[in-house]
Structures are given as C-alpha cells and as structure tokens.
Chain A
Amino acid sequence: MNKIRRTLLGATAALLLFKPFAALAAAWNKDAFAAKTPQDALKGIGAGDVAASKDLVIEAPQIAENGAVVPIEISSAIPGTTSIAVVIEKNPFPLAAQFDFENGALPYVKLNVKMNETSDVRVVATAGGRRYAATKEIKVTIGGCGG
C-alpha cells in the first residue's frame, strides 16, 4: 500500500517538475532531423515538390578547407518568404536547420555548418505555401562531423 502511495507521489512530483520544462520546449521536427536521406528530410519538412528559383541566393565558398566550419549565407528575394531550410545532401543527417521568419524578419540568415564531405547544399524556401529550391556544391577537404 505504502509503496504504491510513494510511487504515485513520485510520479506527481515528476509531472510537476517536468511541466514547466515541457512548456519551455519549443517545436522541433524530430522526424525530419532524424532522416538519413535528403529525400526523407525534404519530405519531413513537407517539401516533396519544389521549383528551382534564381531568387534564392546561397553565398558560400566553393571549397571549404575545414568541414567543421563552413559559412553559408542565404537570402531570398521571393516575395512573402516565410521559411528557409538547409539540407546538406551527403551529411549523415541531411537537414541542418530550418528558419521561420515572422513579423517582419527579412528572409536572410548566415550560419556556420559542419560538412562531412563534398556535397550539394540545398536550400528550400517557402513563400505563399509554395516551395522553392536552390542548390550549390561545396567542396570539403577535411570532413567536420567528428567534432
């Protein structure tokens, strides 16, 4: 009897402890980030069907000496861009990041990513419910996923 009571009390305490934590945890697209192929990653973010766009610009070095830190700058001139996702096709987990822009943030981001090997980097933008993509190959001389 007493043991059950203890267990219940413990469970309640755990729930109370974890509740604020759960409220803090924002959405994280686990399925898309766990995808091991670029196709699955794209499906995971709901971007199976994409149109190539010249208005989506990727600025990155052609050759990255150090795969642990590859600078990538992305900007979209597609009107009404609300989201930008970065997929590194040959990484063990291709989806690197997704940015949602709201309330007047410009569809622009600069970040550093790790690249396991030379790969196409695909950027997918969402604008008005439609998907647009741009791709750039970045050559890597030393892989950076062990770090």
Chain B
Amino acid sequence: MAGPMKMRATLGGGGTAAAYTDVRVLMTHPMTTAQSNQPLHFIQNVTVKQNGKTMVEAQISQAVSRNPVFTFRLKGGAKGDKIEVSWLDNKGETNSIETAVA
C-alpha cells in the first residue's frame, strides 16, 4: 500500500547566503514491477514546487526502488520557503507533502 511521505528541506552550500536548498523526500510506495508476481503498481510522476512554483518534474518507472527516496537541489532559497512534493502513480493514487525550509 502506498503510505505516508517524509520530507526534509535544508539550506546547503555554507556561508551566510545559501547556495542551494537541499530537498530530501521519502515516499512510501511498493513500486512493484512487471517481473514480480504482484500487480504492476508504481509512481509515474513526481513534482517538486518551491513557494508554489514548479521546480522539478520527474517521470519515473518501475525501476525506481521500493519506498523511493530522492534528493533534489534548488538554487538559493531562504528559511521558511515552502517546499511541496507530490506524486501520482499508475493507478491514479496520489499523495503530497509540504514543509518549510529549516
């Protein structure tokens, strides 16, 4: 079953002005393949937004591991920025998570 997500967004790159925002996100999902004896069930689309603006649009396949973990980097950024990640799978199930940059 597809389950909850976890996300952490931090400022990276050192110095006073952040070079980038590091976004780590975990999705609970079986990601079953055509090779297993289970029904094909995998995430197809992942979208990353910063303050409502789309930053990364990913198309993924069943070759991504179970309970996918992704790290993305967004240029610059500041404390309190809203980061939102959502996914959509081949069965039309969807989930999303929002967090503020720490």
Contact = CB atoms under 8 A, between A and B. Distances in A.
Interface stretch (A7-15, A101-109, A131-139): A101-109
A115 B62 CA distance: 11
Contacts of A91: 63
B1 interface: no
Contacts of A21: 92
Interface residues of A, number: 41
9 tightest Cβ-Cβ pairs between the two chains A and B = A110-B71, A112-B65, A96-B63, A105-B55, A106-B73, A104-B75, A26-B45, A97-B60, A108-B73
A111 B64 contact: yes
Given A26-B57, A113-B65, A145 B74 contact: no
Given A104-B75, A106-B73, A109-B70, A99 B64 contact: no
B102 to A, nearest CB: 19
A93 B62 contact: yes
Contact of B59 (A33, A68, A73, A102): A33
Band of interface residues on B: 35 or more
A104 B55 contact: yes
Interface string A82-98: 00000010011101111
A114 B97 CA distance: 25
A73 B82 CA distance: 24
Secondary structure type dominating chain B contacts: strand
A111 to B, nearest CB: 5
Contacts of A68: 65-66
A93 B70 CA distance: 20
Contact of B68 (A98, A102, A112): A112
B44 A28 contact: yes
A93 B44 CA distance: 14
B88 interface: yes
B72 A109 contact: yes
A111 B75 contact: no
Contact of A109 (B50, B62, B71): B71
